[in-house]
Chain A
Amino acid sequence: MLTEKISENNFIRTLGNFFSEIANVAKFIVRFFKEIFTAPFEFREIIKQSYLIGYRSLPLVAITGFIMGLVLTVQSRPTLAEFGAQSWLPAMVGVSIVREIGPVITALICAGKIGSGISAELASMKVTEQIDAMEASGANAFKYIVFTRIVSTALMVPLLVIFSDFIALLGSYAGVNIYDDINFRFFFSQVFQKLNFTDVIPAVIKTIFFGFAIGLIGTYKGYNSTSGTEGVAKAANSSVVISSLLVFIIDMIAVQVTSLLR
């Protein structure tokens, strides 16, 4: 009886916490959109953050992209070969990379690398009173720290995905060439024959949302972390978990929306 009551109370409390957290995130988003329309726009900081977020992720994204393309090709080949349809391999792999696997895998990697980095950085700025110090000097710390990072991730994640898609196609070309000897030009003409704008555009649009979600959760968790070094680790950890989950949820919604629009 007693334990039942306790767990029921716990459940209600958890549910309450959950909804108040959602409300806080909503407030955070509203504040972000308000900041879009007010000066200063902190272009320099946006460019600096974009460099840090984008450029520094290139090697990781490139390696994973290449492996992703290669593995996908090698794994798909036997199935297609069974139907005698090996010649379809470039087109099939191209479509699945650009439409689905490239965006999602790259976004997950960004959630791990960029999201956790932002959270840890902001949380430690909070612990060491650097955010307070910015506010104390009359600066808009939210704008300078949070706004710029969300904008930068929303811009950089799509670019990283496009880059990763391209590298993945190279990986796929390498994979095809393990068995057959096909020409580079021919491979890419095969890929682009089956790839339409209606594949590419929705895929790019959804990556903007992926980037936004990663930046949003990363900054939210960091900016609102509880003090102490423990808070830094917690912020980084939960930011990765939540933004990875969001990537899948957004992806699912995006699939529904694009199939409706078709």
Chain B
Amino acid sequence: MKEASAKKFETTDGHDEIVLEIEHLKKSFGSKEVLKDVTLKIRKGENLAVIGKSGSGKSVLIKCIIKLIEPDEGELIVLGKNILDIDNRELNETRQKIGFLFQSAALYDSMTVRENLEFPLRQLPSSKKKEITELVEEALKNVGLLEVIDKMPSELSGGMRKRVGLARTLILKPEIILYDEPTTGLDAITSKEISHLILDVQKKYSTSSIIITHDMECARITSNRIQVLYEGVFIAEGTFEELKQSKDERVCSFFE
């Protein structure tokens, strides 16, 4: 309780720099409107949890942020760049500053765990072999999976894949991190560890994150603020405690 209220709107370095700004974002697939009108701002060092029913468009939303999915309408300013307007080179540079954890982990099947983690690093021009090895080992240690470093993804359990995916996401020390259900499919203890890891990353590097989750415990631990997505629009916003008091049925149902 005390922990949660102290966290409220206190970002790690306490200033109001906006790192991510979404305005009136819309996206349809065929005749199906998935995102109807999404507006969102995230400040430096802030963790935002997005909760919402399955199929409400959460994954589509964060994929739009790095332009894996091209939105139909709206503005999207990420780290000062208008994502929808920049060329490929600039887009890739911006993407390197953004970490993305896929819901399915999306590990590269044909590569070992080590090669999976090395992949994002290969674009750094100056990285030396020894530094890379150290970075990889440190990242795996953080998720408690150093022992699987030379295994193939197919040899790992679902939860292990998720954690390796998380290590790969964090290895570039991104300024913004988009987590798509980081704790789904993990046991309660590991979930808690992962939630605390997300919090640690925020504190240590003052990153800003969007954490998509169904796991209210994870939302409680990691977030400064929560937004509720319902059928393609945000219907409520506030801290964990505030939303818990909400009278709105669509919001309450998450806290039961």
Contact = CB atoms under 8 A, between A and B. Distances in A.
Interface of A: 121, 124-125, 128-130, 132-140
Given A134-B119, A137-B119, A137-B120, A128 B95 contact: no
Contacts of A136: 66, 68, 95, 98, 100, 102
Given A132-B63, A139-B122, 9 more contacts: A124-B109, A129-B102, A130-B107, A136-B66, A136-B95, A136-B102, A138-B94, A138-B120, A139-B119
B93 interface: yes
Given A128-B104, A129-B102, A133-B102, A140 B95 contact: no
A129 B107 CA distance: 9
Contacts of B9: none
Interface in B53-102: 63, 66, 68, 92-96, 98, 100, 102
A52 to B, nearest CB: 9
A133 B96 contact: no
A129 B92 CA distance: 17
A128 B106 contact: yes
A133 B108 CA distance: 9
A55 to B, nearest CB: 16
7 contacts: A125-B108, A134-B119, A136-B95, A136-B100, A137-B120, A138-B96, A139-B123
Contacts of A133: 100, 102, 106-108
A155 to B, nearest CB: 20
Interface of B: 63, 66, 68, 92-96, 98, 100, 102, 104, 106-110, 119-120, 122-123, 168, 172
Q: A-B pairs with the 6 shortest C-beta distances?
A: A138-B96, A138-B95, A133-B106, A129-B106, A136-B100, A137-B120
A128 to B, nearest CB: 6
Contacts of B93: 138
A135 B96 CA distance: 9
A134 B172 CA distance: 13
Given A129-B102, A132-B102, A133-B102, A138 B123 contact: yes
Contacts of B109: 124-125, 128, 130
A132 B106 contact: yes
B102 A137 contact: no
A130 B106 contact: yes
A230 to B, nearest CB: 18
Given A128-B106, A129-B106, A140-B92, A135 B68 contact: yes
Contacts of A129: 102, 104, 106
Nearest to B122: A139
Nearest to B95: A138
A128 B123 CA distance: 23
Contact of B95 (A121, A125, A130, A135): A135
Contacts of B107: 130, 133
Contacts of A140: 92
A44 to B, nearest CB: 10
A184 B92 CA distance: 59
Contacts of A128: 104, 106, 109
B96 A132 contact: no
A130 B108 contact: yes
A18 B161 CA distance: 40
A133 B119 CA distance: 10
A253 B27 CA distance: 46
A133 B107 CA distance: 8
A130 B96 CA distance: 16
A132 B96 CA distance: 13
Nearest to B91: A138
A103 B185 CA distance: 51
Contact of A137 (B96, B104, B110): B96
Nearest to B67: A135
A124 B98 CA distance: 25
A240 B19 CA distance: 47
Contacts of B120: 137-139
